[in-house]
């Protein structure tokens, strides 16, 4: 592979963000100017502060809180997102979007002003105001989702809404007796639909942790994590690719979007990988896969894990613990693939002078304090709300201390002037983080509300139960076919939509069948969660792969195929914890440790098989097949398969060591 031309540096941040906006959003964000920009930032900051107040200080009625969350969020979204993409970003909000904001205010006002009446009519039947608010609210949600998340999510919701009325003419398991439009509006908009559990998670866990991530970025912790990854593995063989993997672990876990992870680190890591010799598609695939892995990495695991905790009624720490081993296996597989690819291509690491010094890394170790505190508070048994709040406070302290030290040391200011300047810097950073978190949460609010519509239709029509019966019928023929069918459905439902919505929809459709089949609810939901997340790198619609390919100037399809190869172990791991929950940290500690150790060696053998390389030389086709079989054996949590896989794997290692005793390049 040839090096990228030295003259070409990283793509401009503006171009990168524009390309990714085109991928992830239906239309370009407006670049508001003047008083409209100031007004939007103030309103967005107030929106986030209100959520923090009701979550941490003074709760409000849940239904009222959800209505305000969705529709004031939609009002902000209609100001920020234009209805159609244009060559240049719009600088002002047009008159028709101002009109569209009026019903966004009236819908939550109905819930605030008539809360008691709405509760009473939940038993007696809705009045015309309830029906009008519900019908208008559903239309607003569909447009909100279209603007912020593209056409796929609202189209899915529209198909499900139509299904409410065409059910009497549908064949087989899709048949139902039909639904009156009044009942459909009430159910699809109320506490079983738009204002249901999924939006409750968005209005609590998601917005608080997105805010934490925004504050962490404002403190430049992301830069510190990148520097730490560079110092750790930058000089290693294929160092820049390994840096991408490590930074995915450190930063990816606190982001709610795989594409956002690509944006955050790709502008830095992709040019760095190109510079040492990685081809465009491989560099993009490494970034896409590592960024997607952040969605399954504790402690935060993207927004979908919060929905899982709420649906299962289990502590979030239990969900995070269950996700630990699969996440480690995912990144271990990525790291091994990067190393093998570098061995084949003869790619070296970065020069020492290009790397940050360890003494500088040590001096800035305090930058990791918010994330460490977050993990410590979660493990101590406190609520995720308190953990996020403490993390935000720690970030504020870091920003204040950093600014104060800079002013006193670099600008030679007096103590009073330095403190005043540092406080002013921190206030600016707080405003930027609050408005920035509102901007990032827009899409999540929209897709959660649209996913609520889908969940409402499933509950109203009973199609979920019939789908579960079909899954049981398939399982009667073959358990493996039933699980493979569930995998395919989860990936298809997740194509083209953000991972949060992908999991929410797949959980509503697939999870009941898996649970009725006999799976533990945690295993069933984790199985669905992993494949919904992996839809971000799975062709034909792979948002994370396409975004990374756009940044690298690579072929999208080749990038997606390589990304699937890098994430191959994660496609297999869910089937393994279906066979034994030990890989979800369920059971006795010795059994869990054995399952993790053997699965790790299995991941290594699978990577060698797919790359066609082990140690210092190529694997012939027979050895590749043997490696693949041994890897699968080791990943099955059974003693006899572990022993057989271990014997075959060690024999192949010994053969390769004797055949290729010295380091060779392709």
Give per-residue pLDDT as tens, 474-532: 777 777 888 888 888 888 877 777 777 778 888 888 888 888 888 889 999 999 998 88
Quote the DSSP letter at residue 203.
I
Give per-residue burial for 573-584: e unless 16+ CB within 10 Å, then b: bbbbbbbbbbbb
Tell me, what's the pLDDT at 664? 47
3-state secondary structure at position 475 = helix
pLDDT for 374 beyond 50: yes
Tell me, what's the pLDDT at 355? 87
Give the count of beta carbons closer than 10 Å to the beta carbon of residue 650: 12
Helical spans, DSSP H, in 167-220: 181-189, 197-201, 207-218
Tell me, what's the pLDDT at 655? 93
- Distance from CA of residue 522 to its chain's centroid? 19
Helical spans, DSSP H, in 463-588: 463-477, 479-494, 499-517, 521-534, 543-552, 556-566, 568-579
Helical spans, DSSP H, in 302-414: 304-312, 316-322, 324-345, 358-363, 369-379, 384-410
Q: In the structure, what pLDDT confidence band is assigned to residue 194 with cuts at 50, 70 and 90? A: very high
Express as a percent the part of the chain with pLDDT over 90: 29
Q: In the structure, what pLDDT confidence band is assigned to residue 314 with cuts at 50, 70 and 90? A: confident
Q: In the structure, what pLDDT confidence band is assigned to residue 411 with cuts at 50, 70 and 90? A: low
Tell me, what's the pLDDT at 164? 93
Tell me, what's the pLDDT at 16? 37
For residues 357 and 336, what is the distance between their CA atoms, to the nearest angstrom?
25
Please, what is the average pLDDT of the chain?
85
For residues 270 and 339, what is the distance between their CA atoms, to the nearest angstrom?
16
Q: In the structure, what pLDDT confidence band is assigned to residue 15 with cuts at 50, 70 and 90? A: very low
Mean pLDDT of the 407-422 span: 73
Phi, psi of 187 (to 5 degrees): -75, -40
Q: In the structure, what pLDDT confidence band is assigned to residue 661 with cuts at 50, 70 and 90? A: confident
What tokens were used for 233?
A: 């593995």
Angle at 449 between CA 443 and CA 451, to 5 degrees: 100
For residues 593 and 583, what is the distance between their CA atoms, to the nearest angstrom?
9
Q: In the structure, what pLDDT confidence band is assigned to residue 308 with cuts at 50, 70 and 90? A: confident
Q: In the structure, what pLDDT confidence band is assigned to residue 604 with cuts at 50, 70 and 90? A: very high
For residues 180 and 193, what is the distance between their CA atoms, to the nearest angstrom?
16
pLDDT for 580 beyond 90: no
Task: Report the candidate in 659, 631, 625 with the shortest Cα–Cα distance to residue 645.
Answer: 631
Q: In the structure, what pLDDT confidence band is assigned to residue 131 with cuts at 50, 70 and 90? A: very high
Phi, psi of 81 (to 5 degrees): -110, 125
pLDDT for 344 beyond 90: no
**pLDDT, tens digit, 9 for 90 and up, residues 383-404:** 788 888 898 999 998 888 888 8
Verify cis geometry, omega within 30 degrees of 0, for the bond prior to 35: no
DSSP one-letter string for 89-144? --SS--HHHHHHHHHHHHHHHHHHHTHHHHHHHHHH---HHHHHHHHHHHHHHHHH
pLDDT for 537 beyond 70: yes
- Indicate the domain borders of the chain: 13-151, 238-344+462-576, 587-666
**pLDDT, tens digit, 9 for 90 and up, residues 257-278:** 677 778 767 877 888 898 888 8
Q: In the structure, what pLDDT confidence band is assigned to residue 45 with cuts at 50, 70 and 90? A: very high
**pLDDT, tens digit, 9 for 90 and up, residues 142-168:** 999 999 888 888 998 999 999 999 999
């Amino acid at each position: 592979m040839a090096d990228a031309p030295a003259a070409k540096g990283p793509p401009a941040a503006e171009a990168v963000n524009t390309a990714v906006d085109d991928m992830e959003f239906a239309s370009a964000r407006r670049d508001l100017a003047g008083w409209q920009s100031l007004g939007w930032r103030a309103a967005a900051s107030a929106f986030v502060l209100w959520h923090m107040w009701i979550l941490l200080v003074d709760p409000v009625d849940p239904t009222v809180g959800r209505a305000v969350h969705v529709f004031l969020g939609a009002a902000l979204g209609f100001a920020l997102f234009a209805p159609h993409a244009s060559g240049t970003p719009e600088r002002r909000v047009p008159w028709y979007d101002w009109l569209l904001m009026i019903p966004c205010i009236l819908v939550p006002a109905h819930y605030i002003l008539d809360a008691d009446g709405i509760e009473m009519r939940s038993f007696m039947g809705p009045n015309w105001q309830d029906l009008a608010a519900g019908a208008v609210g559903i239309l607003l949600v569909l447009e909100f989702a279209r603007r912020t998340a593209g056409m796929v999510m609202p189209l899915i919701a529209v198909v499900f809404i139509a299904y409410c009325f065409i059910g009497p003419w549908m064949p087989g398991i899709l048949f139902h007796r039909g639904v009156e439009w009044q009942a459909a509006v009430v159910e699809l908009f109320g506490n079983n639909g738009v204002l249901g559990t999924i939006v409750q998670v968005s209005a609590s866990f998601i917005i608080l942790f997105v805010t934490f991530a925004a504050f962490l970025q404002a403190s430049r912790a992301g830069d510190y994590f990148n520097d730490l990854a560079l110092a750790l593995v930058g000089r290693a063989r294929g160092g820049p690719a390994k840096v991408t993997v490590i930074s995915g672990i450190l930063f990816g876990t606190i982001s709610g979007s795989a594409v956002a992870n690509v944006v955050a680190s790709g502008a830095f890591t992709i040019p760095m990988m190109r510079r040492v010799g990685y081809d465009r598609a491989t560099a993009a695939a490494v970034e896409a896969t590592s960024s997607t892995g952040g969605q399954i990495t504790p402690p935060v695991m993207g927004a979908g894990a919060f929905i899982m905790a709420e649906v299962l009624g289990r502590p979030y720490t239990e969900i995070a613990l269950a996700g630990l081993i699969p996440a480690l296996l995912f990144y271990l597989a990525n790291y091994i693939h990067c190393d093998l690819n570098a061995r084949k291509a003869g790619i070296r690491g970065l020069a020492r002078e290009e790397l940050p010094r360890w003494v500088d890394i040590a001096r800035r170790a305090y930058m990791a304090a918010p994330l460490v505190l977050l993990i410590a508070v979660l493990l101590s048994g406190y609520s995720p709300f308190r953990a996020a709040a403490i993390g935000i406070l720690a970030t504020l302290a870091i920003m204040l201390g950093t600014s104060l030290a800079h002013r006193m040391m670099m600008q030679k200011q007096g103590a009073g002037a330095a403190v005043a300047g540092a406080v002013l810097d921190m206030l600016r950073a707080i405003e930027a983080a609050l408005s920035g978190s509102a901007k990032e949460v827009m899409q999540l609010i929209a897709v959660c509300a649209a996913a609520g519509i889908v969940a409402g239709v499933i509950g109203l029509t009973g199609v979920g139960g019939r789908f579960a019966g079909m899954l049981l019928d398939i399982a009667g023929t073959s358990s493996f076919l039933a699980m493979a069918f569930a995998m395919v459905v989860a990936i298809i439902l997740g194509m083209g939509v953000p991972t949060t919505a992908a999991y929410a929809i797949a959980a509503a459709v697939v999870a009941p069948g898996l649970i009725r089949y006999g799976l533990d609810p945690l295993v069933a939901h984790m199985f669905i969660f992993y494949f919904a997340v992996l839809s971000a790198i799975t062709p034909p619609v792979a948002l994370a792969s396409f975004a990374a390919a756009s940044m690298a100037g690579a072929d999208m399809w080749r990038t997606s195929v390589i990304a699937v190869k890098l994430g191959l172990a994660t496609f297999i791991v869910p089937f393994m914890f279906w066979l034994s929950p030990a890989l979800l940290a369920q059971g006795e500690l010795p059994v869990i440790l054995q399952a993790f150790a053997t699965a790790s060696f299995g991941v290594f053998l699978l990577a060698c098989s797919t790359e066609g390389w082990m140690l210092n030389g190529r694997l012939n086709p027979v050895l590749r097949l043997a490696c693949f079989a041994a890897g699968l054996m080791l990943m099955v949590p059974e003693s006899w398969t572990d022993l057989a896989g271990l014997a075959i794997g060690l024999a192949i290692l010994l053969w390769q060591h004797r055949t290729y005793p010295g380091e060779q390049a392709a």
